[in-house]
Amino acid sequence: MTEPHSYLSPEELQAWRLSLQEANRNNIFCYCRRCHREWVASDQVACLCGSKDVEYIACWQFPDG
């Protein structure tokens, strides 16, 4: 299987991925569909109730305002 064509060099792609990781640090809104708990985390983790049915949204995607 070949890699999809990218307009970024391998170095630019790595830098872009690192910037997304940094933007997500302590910045992922998590919502449990089972118990309705909400929290902010750095990774996509299961809920404290044990459910893995969790919605994840990067907070930086929300507009300021």
Predicted confidence at residue 3, as pLDDT, reads 58
Map tokens 């044990």 to a residue: 50
Of residues 40 and 23, more confidently modeled: 40
Predicted confidence at residue 1, as pLDDT, reads 46
How far, in Å, are 10, 14, 56 from residue 52 at the CA level?
33, 29, 11
Which pLDDT tens digit goes with each residue over 8-31? 899 999 998 898 888 777 789 999
Per the rule left: phi > 0, alpha: psi between -120 and 50, beta: everything else, 47 is beta
Predicted confidence at residue 25, as pLDDT, reads 79
Query: Which sequence spans correspond to the domains of the chain?
Result: 26-51
